[in-house]
Amino acid sequence: MPKLTFLDDPPPDDNVTDYDRQHVGLYLRLLDAETQRANWRDVVKVVFGIDPTSHYSRARRVYEGHLARARFLAASGHRDLLSRKGGPKG
């Protein structure tokens, strides 16, 4: 499996971006983990490969930013994501 590449801060755009299309699977994993009430420290370590013990601030920022983006897409942006030609890339 190829190594996941991601930005520390996902795009703050009000529209679905190419970054979002490329990270649909990541967003789904975060939403699923939230539904399962998984500990954020475990999630950030597994999903992003960041050790929150060694890099707490970065781990928290990456996790919270991407979870917020995932929530945004789930609440409103998903219409754009599903309506664009080609659908999600990943």
Between the alpha carbon of residue 10 and those of residues 46, 52, 53, 56, 69, the distances in Å are 18, 19, 22, 18, 7
Kindly state the tokens that stand for 87: 């659908």
pTM over 0.85: no
Q: Report residue 20 CA to chain centroid gap.
A: 8
What's the confidence (pLDDT) of residue 3?
61
Statement: residue 32 has pLDDT above 60 = yes
Nearest to 30 by CA among 22, 38, 18, 20: 38
pLDDT, tens digit, 9 for 90 and up, residues 52-84: 999 999 999 999 999 999 999 988 856 666 555
What's the confidence (pLDDT) of residue 1?
42
What's the confidence (pLDDT) of residue 51?
97
